């Protein structure tokens, strides 16, 4: 059991952190002894085997630490194995003492070290963990650190430090049993066909990019001759498309349903035609309005639903208005005949109040947190989380967006460069769990963008991995079930027993409950050399966790048992 002593005002952040690092914990109670205590306060009782003291001001009572002076003004970067870890809310560094075992550095300075306080091991860190979590889940990471899963690295470090002190650990992993991670394929529906665009900026922009732009991209190695000819043929076919004599090459549904055959995906559809929305800044704000009416495409949406896909709201004004949010949700529900519970804002618009506004508008989840300019981890994690100003609404963050990869004004990557960058994110989510969420827009497979071949290779790669594919709503629902599981301690004749309590519906796919045995050392790659045992649990069966995990066959087991209780 982990005991937590936070500063005033950090309770909500602590609770959300331990929904992401799903392991037994509680706020410290007077007189109780814990395996681990995490503290961000100045006065910390030494009542744990491992005491982790986070904060900018050294706690001399337990560490004898001396700082090197003032706080670092810029965003410092810690070294964590072969990764860089940005610190956003201030960092103190410490005087280097020979008796200190350094565990974290920033440049050549000590940012974290081990010490002893009686029988307890003290780990002193020069930053406030929970303020870092608050920043990540609210403000989000700047673009220069987008590719760093910062929050996931904080969790990994904490887990490693606990295991390296021969303390066993129980955790519910952020991926279903039998899978390393989840994949959520999503499509923002902004056009639905070029027939809706006659002699407007969209059509003329297409003509220019498909002709002159294609030549430019050919000479810089972005298009092949075959792709240039395909774009030119599309321009030549425009009169026949408008007359209805040729297929509309921007029609998205048939193409995506074929490429994603047997894989559920989510289509976010704009509810109202011709509305650019309020509070849209910039000279291009009027272009935010779409030229299609969703009701004209009810048959295509129904076809996607029959294939197991979900239709969500691509919101216009829901990000700032409860009334508009309800109207947009009701509009999509009327067209699809099913409740619309999820939303992604058009252009990814949001502010500090968006989560609570969407929650009051009746949405169960949002999938807006991400970048337009790059790909990566806006909130520092690939896990579904609850925004700090929401009560029940969950956020499904986005990592990969097509336009961010390929637009000249953004990353402007070649296919090989995009494959490498996406491959790094895939490796992260395989390691840390969570969800890899993609946005591929409705016209991105077609001329003039021609990003469909890359998407096919990406889907092929993800199919080959140990991943669970689900719609945005299905995945958000799974994480909601995981959040409902509680850890409790009960007194028995054999001593304290930790239990898992859950009162919701059957969890499918099941949770992965992992028990780590305590290692004697860290492996060469700085990962815990602990053994672990996994069991799957659907929330309804009630096996004895002690028997399922085979605890008596694992070394260094504490004098506590674990069981599942309904």
pLDDT for residue 560 = 40
Q: Are residues 189 and 205 in the same domain?
A: no
Task: Kindly state whether residues 159 and 291 are assigned to the same domain.
Answer: no
CA distances from 537 to 370, 383, 477, 514 (A): 31, 20, 16, 11
Give the chain's domain count.
Answer: 4
- Looking at residue 295, the DSSP 8-state letter turns out to be G
SS3 (DSSP) at 546 = helix
Residue (of 292, 231, 233, 238) closest to 267 by Cα position: 292
Task: Name the pairing type of β-strands 120-125 and 169-172.
Answer: unpaired
Can you name the residues that pair with 104 across neighbouring β-strands?
112
User: Looking at the structure, do residues 297 and 404 belong to the same domain, yes or no?
Assistant: yes
d(C-alpha 108, C-alpha 171), whole Å: 34
SS (H, E, C) 297-352: HHHHHHHHHHCCCEEEEEECCCCCCHHHHHHHHHHHHHHHCCCCCEEEEHHHCCCC
245 domain residue, yes or no: no
Same domain, 23 and 103: yes
Cα–Cα distance for residue pair 332/311, rounded to 1 Å = 8
Q: Say if residues 363 and 341 touch (Cβ distance below 8 Å).
A: yes
CA 312 from chain center: how many Å? 19
CATH of the domain at 257: 3.20.20.370
Beta-bridge partner residues of 513: 172, 535
CATH label of the domain that carries residue 17: 3.40.50.880
- The verdict on residue 529 lying in a domain is no
Query: Is 244 inside any structural domain?
Result: no
Establish if 478 belongs to a structural domain: no
In a domain, 10, yes or no: yes
Nearest CA-CA partner of 477 in 506, 437, 501: 506
Residue 214 belongs to domain spanning: 198-239
**In this structure, what DSSP letter does residue 74 have?**
S
The confidence score (pLDDT) of residue 62 equals 46
The reply to whether 214 and 144 lie within a common domain is: no
CA torsion 100-105-110-115 (nearest 10°) is -30
At 537, which helix (H) or strand (E)?
A: strand 532-537
Q: Which helix (H) or strand (E) holds 171?
A: strand 169-172
**Same-domain pairing of 442 and 543:** no
Pairing of strands 342-345, 310-315: parallel
Residues 357, 234 share a domain: no
Same domain membership, residue 557 and residue 441: no
Same domain, 255 and 302: yes
* CA torsion through residues 262, 266, 272, 275, sign: negative
Q: Are residues 86 and 213 in the same domain?
A: no
The string of DSSP codes covering 547-564 is HHHTGGGSSS--S-EEEE
Sheet holding 169-172, edge to edge: 169-172, 511-516, 532-537
Nearest 5°: the CA angle 315, 316, 322 is 80
Position 82 scores a pLDDT of 86
Task: Give the mean pLDDT per block of 10 residues along the chain (566 residues).
Answer: 94 98 94 92 80 76 48 77 92 75 88 84 94 97 97 97 92 97 98 94 96 95 95 97 96 97 97 94 86 96 97 98 98 96 97 97 98 98 98 98 96 97 98 98 96 98 96 98 90 67 94 80 51 89 54 38 45
Q: Do 330 and 387 share a domain, yes or no?
A: yes
Q: Which two tokens stand for residue 68?
A: 């090197």
**Diameter over CA atoms, the chain:** 84
Predicted pLDDT at 475: 98
Boundary of a domain, candidates 472, 504, 527: 472
- Whether 490 and 462 map to the same domain: the answer is no
Q: What is the CA radius of gyration of the chain?
A: 26
> 518 lies in a domain?
no
CA distances from 382 to 148, 260, 427, 441 (A): 11, 22, 12, 21
Q: Is residue 527 part of a domain?
A: no
Instruction: Judge whether 11 lies within some domain.
Output: yes
């Amino acid at each position: 059991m982990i005991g937590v002593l936070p500063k005033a005002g950090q309770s909500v952040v602590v609770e959300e952190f331990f929904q992401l690092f799903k392991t037994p914990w509680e706020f410290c109670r007077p007189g109780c002894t814990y395996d681990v205590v995490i503290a961000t306060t100045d006065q910390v009782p030494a009542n744990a085997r491992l005491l982790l003291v986070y904060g900018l001001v050294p706690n001399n009572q337990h560490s004898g630490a001396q700082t090197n002076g003032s706080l670092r003004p810029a965003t410092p970067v810690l070294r964590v194995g072969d990764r860089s870890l940005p610190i956003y809310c201030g960092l103190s560094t410490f005087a280097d003492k020979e008796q200190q075992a350094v565990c974290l550095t920033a440049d050549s300075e000590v940012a974290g070290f081990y010490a002893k306080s009686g029988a307890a091991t003290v780990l002193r860190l020069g930053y406030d963990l929970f303020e870092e979590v608050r920043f990540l889940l609210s403000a989000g990471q700047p673009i220069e650190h987008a590719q760093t899963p910062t929050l996931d690295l904080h969790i990994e470090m904490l887990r490693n430090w606990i295991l390296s002190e021969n303390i066993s650990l129980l955790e519910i992993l952020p991926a279903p049993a039998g899978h390393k991670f989840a994949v959520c394929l999503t499509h923002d529906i902004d056009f639905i066909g070029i027939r809706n665009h006659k002699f407007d900026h969209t059509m003329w922009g297409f003509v220019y990019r498909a002709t002159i732009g294609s030549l430019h991209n050919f000479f810089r190695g972005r298009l092949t001759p075959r792709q240039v000819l395909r774009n030119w043929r599309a321009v030549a076919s425009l009169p026949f498309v408008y007359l209805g004599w040729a297929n509309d090459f921007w029609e998205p549904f048939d193409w995506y349903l074929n490429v994603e055959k047997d894989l559920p995906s989510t289509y976010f559809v704009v509810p109202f035609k011709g509305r650019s929305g309020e509070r849209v800044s910039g000279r291009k704000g009027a272009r935010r309005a779409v030229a299609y009416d969703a009701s004209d495409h009810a048959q295509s949406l129904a076809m996607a639903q029959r294939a197991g896909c979900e239709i969500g709201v691509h919101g216009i004004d829901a990000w700032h208005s409860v009334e508009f949010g309800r109207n947009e949700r009701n509009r999509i529900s009327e067209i699809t005949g099913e409740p619309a519970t999820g939303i992604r804002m058009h252009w990814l618009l949001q502010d500090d109040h968006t989560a609570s506004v969407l929650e009051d508008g009746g949405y169960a989840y949002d999938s807006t947190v991400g970048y337009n300019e790059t790909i990566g981890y806006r909130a520092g994690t690939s896990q579904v989380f609850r925004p700090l100003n929401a009560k029940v609404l969950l956020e499904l963050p986005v990592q990969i967006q097509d336009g961010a990869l390929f637009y000249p004004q953004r990353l402007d990557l070649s296919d090989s460069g995009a494959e490498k960058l996406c491959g790094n994110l895939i490796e992260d989510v395989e390691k840390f769990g969570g969800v890899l969420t993609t946005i591929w827009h409705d016209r991105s497979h077609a001329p003039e963008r021609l990003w469909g071949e890359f998407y096919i290779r990406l889907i092929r790669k993800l199919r080959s991995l140990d991943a669970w594919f689900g719609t945005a709503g299905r995945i958000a629902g799974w994480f909601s079930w995981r959040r409902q599981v509680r850890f409790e301690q009960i007194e028995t004749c054999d001593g304290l027993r930790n239990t898992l309590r859950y009162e919701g519906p059957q969890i499918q796919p099941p949770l992965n409950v992992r028990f780590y045995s305590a290692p004697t050392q860290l492996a060469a790659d700085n990962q815990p050399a602990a053994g672990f045992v996994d069991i799957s649990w659907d929330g309804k069966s009630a096996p004895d966790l002690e028997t399922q995990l085979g605890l008596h066959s694992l070394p260094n087991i504490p004098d506590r048992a674990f069981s599942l209780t309904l």
